[in-house]
Amino acid sequence: MAELQEVQITEEKPLLPGQTPEAAKTHSVETPYGSVTFTVFGTPKPKRPAILTYHDVGLNYKSCFQPLFQFGDMQEIIQNFVRVHVDAPGMEEGAAVFPLGYQYPSLDQLADMIPCILQYLNFSTIIGVGVGAGAYILSRYALNHPDTVEGLVLINIDPNAKGWMDWAAHKLTGLTSSISEMILGHLFSQEELSGNSELIQKYRNIITHAPNLDNIELYWNSYNNRRDLNFERGGDITLKCPVMLVVGDQAPHEDAVMADSGGQPQLTQPGKLTEAFKYFLQGMGYMASSCMTRLSRSRTASLTSAASIDGNRSRSRTLSQSSESGTLSSGPPGHTMEVSC
Ligand code: BEZ
């Protein structure tokens, strides 16, 4: 009997005819740690934060976020916000390779570049959306500048420094694998990599043939040398803003991330992420239910009513909702929301 094979289905719902992507403007600013490039889409909306994204290692803002931000249903959300997509130094399209011996910024220093971007744009607050290393950088920024962060969407964050076991495994892998294979192993699960779907072929091709692979290795090294964020539940070091924690179920390093962890849900599940993001923004008072899709409206209504019965719900006593979108859990309304997809 032929073996049944699990196939990864990537959601595709591109922009509708007539929906054109907004014009983008790319800027660079000088910071104490070197120059940083970012691309702005849309215009600032009064009394609304900017959405600021930070991508993972091996990617840039386009390869990390384009499938999510150009997803059809996402337009309803993002038209209400200006977006700032940061490229880590040396990751922007056409970046020159850094000279030998160049001291690449640490993740903490990359976080310290963000105030220069916001000052240049004259933006006072953000909702951060980060993946992997980018999620770490935005969390560090939020810990240092809590008053400027209204919310955080953290996809596949690993808040801990590498332990000695991780280092040993990393060194061993480094003996037999190329940098690009190690980075692919950070981004995708072994199951996804051996499945070799079109998406994997595309990202394998992007990373192995990247003209700035030497720069990518520097960002990779900074990621591997990160220190603990030292989050403590209920302790002094906590994120003060609402957080949407996203973990995929295709984990390359399942035990490291805060929950299940996995894959690149912003590439493979843009519809599920869009829906969860809508709930999150609605909890923050930014998306009136009248501008939500019928499906989202009915789900949000049940989530909101259940949450209001027990307004003091703690994070460990979560409200969970199962749907074809995976499992959503919500802590105190508008505070912490966990999404697995
Ligand atoms: C945006 O509309 O924010 C966007 C468009 C293309 C790529 C990434 C983001």
Phi–psi pair at 88, nearest 5 degrees: -55, 150
Residue 276 has a pLDDT of 97
Which of 41, 43, 77, 78 maximizes ligand 1 atoms within 8 Å of its Cβ, making it the mutation to test the pocket?
41
Cα–ligand 1 centroid distance for 40 (angstroms):
9
> From the CB of 66, is ligand 1 less than 6 Å away?
yes
SS3 108: helix
> From the CB of 55, is ligand 1 less than 6 Å away?
no
Cα 220 to Cα 210: distance, rounded to the nearest angstrom: 14
Give, using CA atoms, the residue closest to atom 8 of ligand 1.
Answer: 66
Specify the pTM.
Answer: 0.84
SS3 112: helix
Task: Give the pair of three-digit tokens for residue 168.
Answer: 């040993």
Cα 214 to Cα 198: distance, rounded to the nearest angstrom: 25
Cα 191 to Cα 28: distance, rounded to the nearest angstrom: 38
> From the CB of 22, is ligand 1 less than 6 Å away?
yes
Cα 204 to Cα 196: distance, rounded to the nearest angstrom: 9
> From the CB of 85, is ligand 1 less than 6 Å away?
yes
Task: Give the pair of three-digit tokens for residue 198.
Answer: 């079109």
Residue 179 has a pLDDT of 97
> From the CB of 78, is ligand 1 less than 6 Å away?
yes
On the CB side of 44, CA atoms within 13 Å amount to 10
In one-letter notation, the amino acid at residue 54 is Y
Residue 329 has a pLDDT of 41
Cα–ligand 1 centroid distance for 266 (angstroms):
13
* 192: nearest Cα among 201, 180, 179, 205: 201
> From the CB of 84, is ligand 1 less than 6 Å away?
no
Cα–ligand 1 centroid distance for 134 (angstroms):
16
Indicate which atom in ligand 1 lies nearest the CA of residue 22: 2
Q: Are 40 and 23 in contact (CB under 8 A)?
A: no
Residue 249 has a pLDDT of 74
Question: What is the set of domains in the chain, with CATH numbers?
Answer: 24-288 (3.40.50.1820)
Beta strands across the sheet bearing 24-31:
24-31, 34-41, 83-87, 50-54, 126-131, 149-155, 243-247, 336-340, 326-330, 319-323
SS3 303: helix
Residue 282 has a pLDDT of 95
pLDDT tens digit sequence for 252-307: 554 554 433 459 999 999 999 999 999 999 999 998 765 555 445 444 433 332 22
Residue 19 has a pLDDT of 61
Q: Are 325 and 73 in contact (CB under 8 A)?
A: no
pLDDT tens digit sequence for 87-120: 999 999 999 999 999 999 999 999 999 999 999 9
Question: Consecutive 10-residue runs of the chain (341 residues): their mean pLDDT?
Answer: 45 58 91 98 97 98 98 96 98 97 98 98 98 98 98 97 87 87 96 96 98 98 96 83 90 48 86 96 86 48 28 29 37 71 80
In one-letter notation, the amino acid at residue 84 is V
Cα 110 to Cα 138: distance, rounded to the nearest angstrom: 9
> From the CB of 75, is ligand 1 less than 6 Å away?
no
By 3-state DSSP, what share of the chain in percent is helix, strand and coil, each rounded to 5?
A: 40, 15, 45
